[in-house]
Homo-oligomer: A and B are copies of this chain.
């Protein structure tokens, strides 16, 4: 039902090695110069996305979609922090925050999808390096 091709292996390897960043389809295609066509990148990302291996995001300011490999996910309730400046994505796992979604469910009658929810802001490093 699914073949292992050179291209799909390259794509998966690439997003895995860059799992700390959001990647656009173009960045992936460029990162694998001349080895994988852009169409194939899109199709592979789609498949990986529906398999739950990759997550698709949309930038708040930009135009194109971003994709990111999911290391550690599943039933875990954890949020993401996305730096608007450097673009890095941080995993946020913390006792103090683990019950946010439960609280919102109980008191605000809203079931939060933590995997879709991203906190946007500025990370500590960028804050220091402000220019």
| CB atoms of A110 and B119 under 8 A apart | yes
Complex contacts, A81 vs chain B, CB 8 Å = 104, 108, 110, 112
Choose, from A7-15, A26-34, A40-48, A55-63, the stretch at the interface: A55-63
**Known contacts A59-B58, A92-B108, A100-B100, A120 near B124 by CB under 8 Å:** no
| CB atoms of B104 and A119 under 8 A apart | yes
Partner of A84, one of B84, B101, B113, B120: B113
**Among residues 91 to 120 in chain A, which have CB atoms less than 8 Å away from a CB atom of chain B?**
92, 94, 96-97, 100-101, 103-104, 107-113, 116-120
| Oligomeric state, in copies | 2
**Known contacts A58-B58, A104-B119, A117-B121, A111 near B97 by CB under 8 Å:** no
Complex contacts, A129 vs chain B, CB 8 Å = none
In the assembled complex, A123 has its CB within 8 A of some CB on chain B: yes
| CB atoms of B97 and A124 under 8 A apart | no
Residue of B nearest to A120 (CB): B116
Minimum CB–CB distance from A70 to chain B (whole Å) comes to 15
In the assembled complex, A127 has its CB within 8 A of some CB on chain B: yes
A-side interface residues toward B, CB under 8 Å? 56-61, 81, 83-84, 90, 92, 94, 96-97, 100-101, 103-104, 107-113, 116-124, 127
